[in-house]
Amino acid sequence: MATAQHNTDTPGSLITRDGQIQWAGLLFGPGTPYQIDSTGLTGWDDLPGLDSADVARPDQHGSWPGAQWAKPRTVSAAVWLLPGRPEQAADVAREFRAATGVHDSEQWLAVRLHGETLACRARVDRRVIPLDRTYQTQGVAKATLQWLSTDPRRFSSSEQSVRTTLPVPEPGLVWDGADRAGGAEGLRWPLEWGTADFIADGTVTATNGGDAPVNPVVEFRGPVRRPSLTRLSDGTQLQYDIALAESDVLTVDTTAGTVTLNGTTSRIHTATASSIPEQRFQLRPGTSSLAFRSAPGRVDPRASVTVTWRDAHW
């Protein structure tokens, strides 16, 4: 098992100090011409609204408790546009408008507080820039921004990744039957038992350091037949009836619910009856033990599974 950090598409990569916000390549907060008002952010540390599946009891008070699902998160901030000189006002306003325009896809909204950077995927939902006399003459304005995040969870800025290969059986003791000096050579003390650390058991431990469940990305690499990944705590499993060659990668995105071969072709139809819907495969807060398995038969040591995620927080 190995653990690694990935820097691809790292949210908050421009942030250098507490109180800064990064959005669409633009920094807000200390050290920038876009200062956050003293009222700060609203909706960032709040628990999002909840949809409940509670069912009213027909013959007594209260309800039977059902599942709770978090609604989208709304984040708002008042941002002061403060150009250093009046001649810089046009550039400051232009950059602000460009970063806070209308976009179909979500981007990372990252916030650093008390040394911790968290981020969510969002889109600008509202922007108000009052055109008062101060703005017209000096470019100074108190703008209002609102973001809508369809996934209300906030994620750590860096990804985590763990990898393991298929189980390799213990070879056991080797019996040497050669005839030496007229006698058979057998086992002699002390016996060489080997080092257990180098015997792959096909299990890996993934730790979600947040307080919300997270959907990982799972990559199966060949050569392997019918690869599967099982959460050992409850037997929840992803399994696909497919044969992967050495150069093949089967990517399971449990957030999007997609299964693609080599990044192009959908193979979601290869999910077996033992496999749960991809979006239900999550890493709960804390430590999860996962087992990588394949169809019975010869095991190829080149086959592997990689699980990648970001710690998730409410």
User: In 10 A of CB 128, how many CB atoms?
Assistant: 11
Whichever domain contains 228, its CATH number is 2.60.120.860
Burial grade of 73 (CB within 10 A; 0-12, 13-18, 19 or more):
buried
Say if 186 falls within a structural domain. no
State whether 14 and 144 are in the same domain: yes
State whether 141 and 263 are in the same domain: no
Helices H, strands E: what count in the chain? 2, 28
pLDDT of residue 293: 96
State whether 143 and 211 are in the same domain: no
State whether 258 and 299 are in the same domain: yes
State whether 140 and 28 are in the same domain: yes
pLDDT averaged over the chain?
89
Gap between the terminal Cα atoms of the chain: 29
Among residues 236, 234, 215, the alpha carbon closest in space to that of 283 is found at 215
Say if 100 falls within a structural domain. yes
Q: How many Å apart are CA 79 and CA 20, to the nearest integer?
A: 12
State whether 258 and 219 are in the same domain: yes
Say if 112 falls within a structural domain. yes
Say if 127 falls within a structural domain. yes
Q: How many Å apart are CA 77 and CA 145, to the nearest integer?
A: 5
Among residues 175, 283, 278, the alpha carbon closest in space to that of 228 is found at 278
State whether 149 and 208 are in the same domain: no
pLDDT digits (tens, 9 = 90+) for 158-183: 999 999 999 876 655 555 554 455 55
Confidence of residue 193 (pLDDT cuts 50, 70, 90): low
State whether 219 and 96 are in the same domain: no
Q: How many Å apart are CA 25 and CA 165, to the nearest integer?
A: 38
State whether 78 and 119 are in the same domain: yes
Phi, psi angles (nearest 5°) of residue 127: -145, 125
DSSP class per residue in 174-207: PP---EETTEE----SSP----GGGS--SEEEEE
State whether 150 and 21 are in the same domain: yes
State whether 163 and 304 are in the same domain: yes
Confidence of residue 5 (pLDDT cuts 50, 70, 90): very low
Q: How many Å apart are CA 29 and CA 31, to the nearest integer?
A: 6
Confidence of residue 4 (pLDDT cuts 50, 70, 90): very low
Say if 60 falls within a structural domain. no
pLDDT of residue 3: 34
Whichever domain contains 137, its CATH number is 2.40.30.200
Domain enclosing residue 271, as ranges: 159-168+200-313
Task: Reply yes or no on whether the pLDDT at 11 is more than 80.
Answer: yes
pTM above 0.85, yes or no: no
pLDDT digits (tens, 9 = 90+) for 71-97: 999 999 999 999 999 899 999 999 999
Confidence of residue 197 (pLDDT cuts 50, 70, 90): very low
Q: Which of these three, 91, 121, 156, is where a domain ends?
A: 156
State whether 70 and 164 are in the same domain: no
Q: What is the mean pLDDT of the segment spanning 264-276?
A: 96
pLDDT digits (tens, 9 = 90+) for 22-65: 999 999 999 999 999 999 999 999 999 999 999 999 989 999 99
Task: Reply yes or no on whether the pLDDT at 8 is more than 90.
Answer: no
Confidence of residue 201 (pLDDT cuts 50, 70, 90): confident
Number of structural domains in the chain: 2
Task: Reply yes or no on whether the pLDDT at 188 is more than 80.
Answer: no
Say if 58 falls within a structural domain. no
pLDDT of residue 279: 95
Say if 41 falls within a structural domain. yes
Q: What is the mean pLDDT of the segment spanning 2-27?
A: 78
Task: Reply yes or no on whether the pLDDT at 129 is more than 70.
Answer: yes
Question: Is 129 within 8 Å of 34 (Cβ atoms)?
Answer: no
Say if 244 falls within a structural domain. yes
